[in-house]
Each structure stands twice: as C-alpha cells, then as structure tokens.
C-alpha cells in the first residue's frame, strides 16, 4: 500500500522535485536526466515520483511554469516600485536579474530546440498548450505594464527578449557574457521607454 502524504508534504515534495529538475536540467540536460537521479536528490522512493508526475517531462513542464509564475510576480512587484528618476538603469537591472535568474535555474536549456523536442514528444496536448502559453505570456504581461498594446510592438519586443535569452545557450563562447547581456538589455530598455 503506497504511503499517503499530507498536503504540506505533497507541496514540499513537488517543490523539491521542481528544484531537482532544474539542477539536473542545468547539469545534464533533458536526455541524461533520469527519474532515478531526481528521486535520489529528493530522497523519495521512485514510486512516489509517479504519484506526482507521469514522467520527467511533466515535471520539467511544471518546473518551467512554476518558475515563470513566481518570477512574473517578483518582477511585476519590482516594476511597481520602479525608481522613475532612473528608469533606464532600474529597468536594465530588473531585466538583467530576470535573465540571470532564468539562466541559473537551468531552464534556459529549453531554448534549445533539441532539448525542448525531447520534452514535447512526451507531453499530452493540454500540457503542450500550457507550455506555449507560459512561454509567451510572461513577457507579454511585463510589456502590459508599459501599456504597449500594439500587437506588432508586443511581438517585436517579445522576439527581442527571446533573442537575448537564446544567447544563454552560447554564453560560454561569448567573451564577457554578463557585460554583453547587460548592454543588450540596456539597448532594449532604451527602445522600450522611448
């Protein structure tokens, strides 16, 4: 008979599994992350994993969506407290922190089509839709803060932000990556506030 968990335990296990999935994603990528490694890190029986997730891809999706939701809340709060006297510097710092947080989470690996396709092939249709919504909604909500509602402008800024995030796939080959990232973000911010 499987062990039953309290709601607190369930929430903690989900949170720990999401954190473990990010760690493994960053270290190993999708293909080389195993359920065995995930349960070893979280220190739960393998059967318990399957009480929460159908497969590791569902866990990766949950980690990405949860991360995006938490980050969105955090950065929208920072935007609300924005120093209007130093808007370009403040926004550059906020968006830079957002990019670095995404990189450090390991979730930037989903920007690699090979990694993403490994996840997508094992997701159900409703999970695929959830992923697509998560990928575009975050930047769109940030842009809503600036009252940018022209679809072409939203699309252009969304593409520009995504381009910056795609650089993370090659950060090891870019000299002074962090300085380059900050410079690119500052240029985008200048366009955003003009």
For residue 146, the domain's CATH number is 1.10.357
What is residue 55's DSSP assignment? S
- Which pLDDT band, with edges at 50, 70 and 90, does 33 fall under? very high
pLDDT score of 14: 96
Whole-angstrom distance, CA of residue 167 vs CA of residue 174: 9
Domain limits at 106?
55-193
The answer to whether position 74 is within a domain reads yes
Q: Is residue 31 scored above 90 in pLDDT?
A: no
The answer to whether position 49 is within a domain reads no
Query: By three-state DSSP, how is residue 2 classified?
Result: coil
The answer to whether position 160 is within a domain reads yes
The token pair at 11 is 């929430």
The answer to whether position 77 is within a domain reads yes
**pLDDT tens per residue, range 96-147:** 998 898 888 888 877 777 777 777 777 777 777 776 666 667 667 777 766 6
**Does an H or E element contain 25, and which?**
helix 7-28
> Which residue is it, tokens 């650089």?
167
pLDDT score of 2: 60
**pLDDT tens per residue, range 66-86:** 888 888 788 878 877 777 778
pLDDT score of 94: 85
The answer to whether position 41 is within a domain reads no
> How many domains does the chain contain in total?
1
The answer to whether position 122 is within a domain reads yes
In 3D space, the residue among 75, 179, 57 whose CA is nearest the CA of residue 128 turns out to be 57
Contact status, residue 116 vs residue 127, Cβ threshold 8 Å: no
Contact status, residue 139 vs residue 162, Cβ threshold 8 Å: yes
The answer to whether position 10 is within a domain reads no
The answer to whether position 67 is within a domain reads yes
pLDDT score of 34: 95
């Amino acid at each position: 008979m499987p062990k039953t968990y309290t709601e607190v335990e369930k929430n903690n296990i989900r949170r720990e599994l999401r954190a473990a999935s990010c760690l493994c994603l960053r270290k190993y990528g999708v293909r080389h992350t195993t359920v065995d490694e995930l349960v070893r890190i979280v220190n739960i029986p393998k059967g318990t994993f399957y009480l929460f997730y159908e497969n590791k891809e569902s866990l990766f999706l949950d980690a990405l969506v949860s991360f995006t939701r938490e980050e969105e809340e955090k950065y929208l709060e920072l935007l609300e407290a924005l120093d209007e006297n130093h808007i370009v510097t403040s926004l550059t710092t906020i968006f830079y922190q957002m990019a670095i947080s995404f990189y450090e989470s390991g979730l930037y690996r989903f920007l690699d089509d090979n990694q993403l396709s490994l996840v997508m092939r094992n997701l159900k249709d409703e999970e695929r839709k959830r992923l697509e919504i998560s990928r575009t909604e975050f930047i769109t909500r940030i842009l809503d803060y600036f009252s940018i509602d022209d679809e072409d402008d939203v699309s252009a800024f969304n593409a520009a932000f995504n381009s910056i995030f795609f650089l993370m796939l090659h950060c090891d080959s870019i000299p002074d990556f962090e300085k380059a990232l900050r410079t690119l973000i500052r240029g985008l911010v200048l366009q955003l506030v003009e």
